[in-house]
Structure 1
Amino acid sequence: MELTRRHALAGAAALAATPLLPSAFAKAAAPLADKQAPSFYRYKVGDAQVNVVSDGVNNFALGDTFVLNVKKDEVNAALEKAFMPKDRMSIQFAPLVINTGGKLVVVDTGNGPAAFASSKGNVGQFASNMAAAGLDAKAVDLVVISHFHGDHINGLLTADNMPAFPNAEVLVPAAEWKYFMDDGEMAKQTTDRMKGVFANARRVFDAGLKKKVTPYETGKDVAPGLQAVATLGHTPGHTSFILSSGSDKVFIQSDVTNLPALFVTNPGWHLMFDQDPAMAEATRRKVYDMLVADKMRVQGFHYPFPANGFVEKDGNGYRLVPAPWSPVI
């Protein structure tokens, strides 16, 4: 169509009027949302369904001893390289609910309802996100615990100290149970942090759970297709898992590493929460060399949500490659 002077003038007039239009609708703007959608994500491992259910994110100041064998400036440099703010830590938590087809299995339970209240909802979200995902806590058959740090066991209890999974058997690492329930080991502790870990483990399991607890040994299946693997160092009985179905597998690494930008990239860095840092490092390198060689998917409790992907060798360390998000299961 030929552009005439009349068309051009009409277009100019329309453009001139355009800025006036939004003001007529400004008062109808929607209010800003004040909360995120519930955080859960599902994927399949063979015939099993993995539900990654976020427990939230803990944000805190980076201390001088968060990494024991590296200066704070070097830690900040790693954070900035990963486009994360310096002098701040953001640690995520990702418990699992696995539907094996015959059993509904929870792996670790998050920070619990008391932490939800004290953090103003930043952590302790596992119960509400699990419900939002359509997963009924009363339908859980087994709760499998990797180790006894509070962010893994506190969600075993409700706000009124009742079992959060009333019909479930609670499976715990035998070595972890032996260590943390030993009065002699508890008496040896000299730091406030470790005294607190012991006291909290006693608090959780003394609250009506002891009759539900069954210690398990590593090297065996603790649920259908879920093999317990000893990954010691973080704690004396720290355990990871391999979920297998058909030819498909995922390595559930628990706390083999903490924040990937620091400890996947730099496996030689020692985390302040690792009870035996040298052993934890040796375990980390062994596990990650295996993941690289086998090209096995890995699920990390402290990975950025939805907390799973693959790893490749990168210089003296490794690089986490997040698994692609899928809109279908």
Structure 2
Amino acid sequence: MVTRRDFFVGGGAALAAYAAGSFMPLGAQSAPNFGAPSVVQVGFRKQKIGDIEVIALNDGVTRRPLAAEFVRNAPLGEVQELLRSQNLPTEYLDVPYTAFLVVSGNRKVLMDTGFSDNGGPTTGRLLANLNAAGYKAEDIDTVILSHFHGDHILGVRNKAGQLVYPNAKIMVPSVEHAFWMDDARMAAAPDAMKGAFQTVRRMLGGLSDIQLVKFEAGTEIVPGIKSVAAYGHTPGHTLFMVESKGEKFAYLADITNVPQLFARNPDWAVQFDMNAEEARVARRKVFDMIVADKVMAGGFHFPFPAFGRVEKLGNGFEFKPVA
């Protein structure tokens, strides 16, 4: 169970802003202007997994100053040196957002939703990229959510409160749902965290038992897609394994927020992990598994096209995108 102390250990107000879908960093009012990030021009990428097609759908990108608290257990200079060694900027981070559509026969399953029109000016591209890939919002029959941070669930409804995918049932991890929909827990949370609880209610509240379906980790959610517990980033953070004809694709959600940092140093703790130790254990376990099984992988915050392989690198791992 995540306690009041865990909220503060998990980054306090910064975590609250992240969970609620606001990406204004602490102290950003006086932060230098690093300009706008570049949005990918072709924001979808198709990949065959056996008889199943998996499509990466970019929802945009945000740029945030790199603050000392971003990695909670490593000095800022060490973090910057690792970025510098990969020819990446050391004063800011560009954070992409990519959901994945699974097309299996007549089934069209969207894994996470991005922001819709609830985010900043460089987000909200998912629907346009879905259309460019040949599909409409009405085609989606199932939405599966990995966890309830704002960047993953704000695309469930638009600003007007309408469901973005009107014909889809929404499937959620039971552990995650129990945590965020607990009224007593919301009442006991620090004020900075209440917005995150309210965001969950705004997106998922008022849905019928037919529209909202809870699932247990370790179960097959729909044919060909199995859920995998990876708790720590949030209490019920869940990954998804897609399999067809002996081929597999692992959707890693937020097992690492920035693979250039947290894949290479899986023991580092990002400020948004609600239970850093559980997240660290899950990160190593998942990376070890996909390396051993040679599984194609994709992550919500992986650099687009967000498909690739994970390989061992020293005491950590390296994500290598597909060409």
Name the TM-score, length of structure 1 as normaliser: 0.83
Distance in 1 separating the partners of 2:306 and 2:179: 29
**2:195 counterpart of 1:196:** yes
Secondary structure of 1:283's counterpart equals helix
| Residue 86 of structure 1: how far off its partner (Å) | 1.0
5 Å-filtered alignment, 1:304-323, equals: 304-323=303-322
Structure 1 contact 54–129 (Cα < 8 Å) conserved:
yes
The residue aligned with 1:80 is: 84
The residue aligned with 2:32 is: none
Secondary structure of 2:118's counterpart equals helix
**2:114 counterpart of 1:110:** yes
Query: Taking CA–CA contacts closer than 8 Å with sequence separation of 6 or more, which of the two structures ends up with the larger relative contact order?
Result: 2
5 Å-filtered alignment, 1:1-329, equals: 37-115=41-119, 119-120=120-121, 122-190=122-190, 192=192, 194-206=193-205, 212-324=211-323
Q: What 5-or-longer segments of structure 2 have no aligned partner?
A: 1-37
Across the aligned residues of Structure 1 and Structure 2, the Cα RMSD in angstroms comes to 1.6
Structure 1 contact 163–208 (Cα < 8 Å) conserved:
no
State the aligned residue count. 286
Percentage of pairs with the same residue = 38
Secondary structure of 2:175's counterpart equals helix
Q: 1:61 to 1:139 in 2, by over 3 A?
A: same
Secondary structure of 1:94's counterpart equals strand
Structure 2 contact 39–61 (Cα < 8 Å) conserved:
no
Q: 1:321 to 1:36 in 2, by over 3 A?
A: closer
| Residue 272 of structure 1: how far off its partner (Å) | 0.7
1:225 partner amino acid: G
Distance in 1 separating the partners of 2:209 and 2:195: 19
| Residue 191 of structure 1: how far off its partner (Å) | 6.0
Distance in 1 separating the partners of 2:55 and 2:292: 26
Which is worse superposed, 197-206 or 166-175? 197-206
Secondary structure of 2:41's counterpart equals coil
| Residue 159 of structure 1: how far off its partner (Å) | 3.3
Structure 1 contact 233–276 (Cα < 8 Å) conserved:
yes
2:79 partner amino acid: V
Which is worse superposed, 161-170 or 122-131? 122-131
Q: 1:210 to 1:126 in 2, by over 3 A?
A: farther
| Residue 158 of structure 1: how far off its partner (Å) | 2.2
Distance in 1 separating the partners of 2:308 and 2:69: 29
| Residue 128 of structure 1: how far off its partner (Å) | 1.6
| Residue 184 of structure 1: how far off its partner (Å) | 1.5
Name the TM-score, length of structure 2 as normaliser: 0.85
Distance in 1 separating the partners of 2:139 and 2:222: 15
| Residue 114 of structure 1: how far off its partner (Å) | 2.0
| Residue 190 of structure 1: how far off its partner (Å) | 2.1
Distance in 2 separating the partners of 1:147 and 1:138: 23
